[in-house]
Every structure is written in structure tokens, then in C-alpha cells.
Amino acid sequence: MMQQGDYAITFACLNQVAYTRQCVESLCRTGIDLARVIAVDNSSTDETRSYLESLPLGGRIFNKTNLGCGVAWNQGALAMQAEWSVIMNNDIVVAPGWLDALLEVAAERGLKIVCPAMIEGELDYDLDAFAQDAARRMRGVVRLGRRHAVCMAVHNSVWLEIGYFQPVPRLLGFEDSLFFNEVRKAAIPTAITGASWIHHFGSITQSAMKRERGLAARQALGGPNLNRLLGLGWLDRKAIKFRNKQQLRAWRRRELADYAMTVHGVRGSGKFQWL
């Protein structure tokens, strides 16, 4: 089991209090100590602030304006520094054993960033029962070199080696792309593991932050400008994208053949689609 000082959790939010409540309730249900959680609110106008103030959190940061995810993630990670910082969305629900499994796999595999498997879309199934069975069956499955920003445990050595997220609100959700590009260049070991599962409703808060700022994708610092920001030529970016697609297809084929499922599913119309 984890020691109390080994981890800290942070999430950003902007309105969407119902999703934040579901997320926090799932943390409590799975044994997470809310004293290890930092919530960063990007100037919500609904009941989010009063809800966060009612919780025994380790910290609350109330920004006066919407500073975007990158700034908020940095604020949370720095407010409670730990060996492992869990950066997560507030529009997710976690399953029992999710964090222990993440850190156990990281220790076994020498990973510095580790992410759970996930189902996206409708939560019309028993996540706890599903996750228990899926984690048992897919305990040894890892997609080495992959990662996602929906939920990730980041070792403190990563911050020291490549720094934090770019604190630019106009990045409009490309903060993770830039961060992961630095991770790739530094050859930091990462993976998605089938030993840990979450449900993700689908970038609810990220979309809300974009709408609130009134910025279209073409106005963002990402989008068409992403290659420049990544420091990659067009051909280099195409080559990386091609290799990633090939690897994803290979993982999907192998996982479906061995388990009849994969570490990334989408739920809709009462069925799972495996990616």
C-alpha cells in the first residue's frame, strides 16, 4: 500500500460542478484521502466554489479568471509537492485500486509517467465490477511509450528534468502535446497500463474552458501552429504520427486477440467499442 506522503492529486475545473462532485465522490469511495487533493478552480460561476469549500481538501486555488489547464495543473502540482503528482481531469470517475495499481506498475516497469486504461462516453455500466475484472485480466498489459493527460501519475524527477506545463492560456488544450513532446525528446519512460481503470465522460471541462475564452481553434497557439511549437518539421511530424498509428493498430490487434478488449474503450448505445 502507498505511504501517505507518496502522492498528491490535482485537478482543474470550470463550472461543471456535477462532474466534479462525481469525481470527488469516486476518490472518496476508493479510499483517497482528500487531504492529498488540490483543486484549482478557473473562475467558476456555478456552485463549484461553495462545493469545493465544503470539502476537507488539502488545498483550494481560486483563480480570478480562466487561466487554462496548463497554469492550473502547475499551480496544483506546486501547491503540494510529492514523489508522485497525479494530474487528472475533473470529468472522470475512478475505480477501486486505481492509484495503487498505477504506482505498482510504475515501480515494476521503471516508469516515470503512468496512465490508467479508460472507458470514454456513457457511464451506463457498473464501473467497479467492470474495472475489477478488466484489471485482473489485463494486469500485465502495458502500452509502453504511450500516455494521455486525462489522468497521469508523474514522478517528481520529470519536473526536475523537463519542467512543468507551458503556462499559456491560449494553448487551448495543447499543453499536454507540448509537455509530451518534451517527454519524448528526453526519452522519459511512460506507459498506459491495463492494471488500473477509470471512466472519462469526454473532455467536458476542457471544452468549457475553450468556450469561456471565446477562442476558436484557429486562434489558439496550438492547431495550425503546433508543428512550430513542437519544434518539428512537417515531415518529422508526419513520420511520428504514422509510427504511432502503426503501433496503436498492433496493440489493438494483440489485445483484442488475447482479451477480446483493449485498454481504451468507448461506451455508447449500451456497447463497448475498442480502440
Q: Which residues contact 50 (CB under 8 A, 6 or more apart)?
A: none
Domain containing residue 50: CATH number? 3.90.550.10
Q: Are 61 and 41 in contact (CB under 8 A)?
A: yes
User: Which residue stretches of the chain have pLDDT < 50?
Assistant: 1-4, 216-220
Q: Which helix (H) or strand (E) covers residue 255, if one does?
A: helix 234-259
Please give the model's pTM, rounded to 2 decimal places. 0.90
**Residue written as grid cell 497525479:** 86
What CA–CA distance (Å, rounded) separates 205 from 227? 25
| Sign of the torsion formed by the C-alpha atoms of 69, 101, 270 and 26 | negative
What CA–CA distance (Å, rounded) separates 28 from 18? 16
What CA–CA distance (Å, rounded) separates 30 from 263? 20
Q: Which helix (H) or strand (E) covers residue 195, if one does?
A: strand 190-200
Q: What is the pLDDT of residue 244?
A: 87
Number of domains in the chain: 1
Coil, strand or helix at 127: helix
Q: What is the pLDDT of residue 31?
A: 95
pLDDT per residue as tens digits for the range 246-266: 999 999 999 999 999 999 999
- Residue 57 sits in which domain range? 4-274
pLDDT per residue as tens digits for the range 155-175: 999 999 999 999 887 776 788
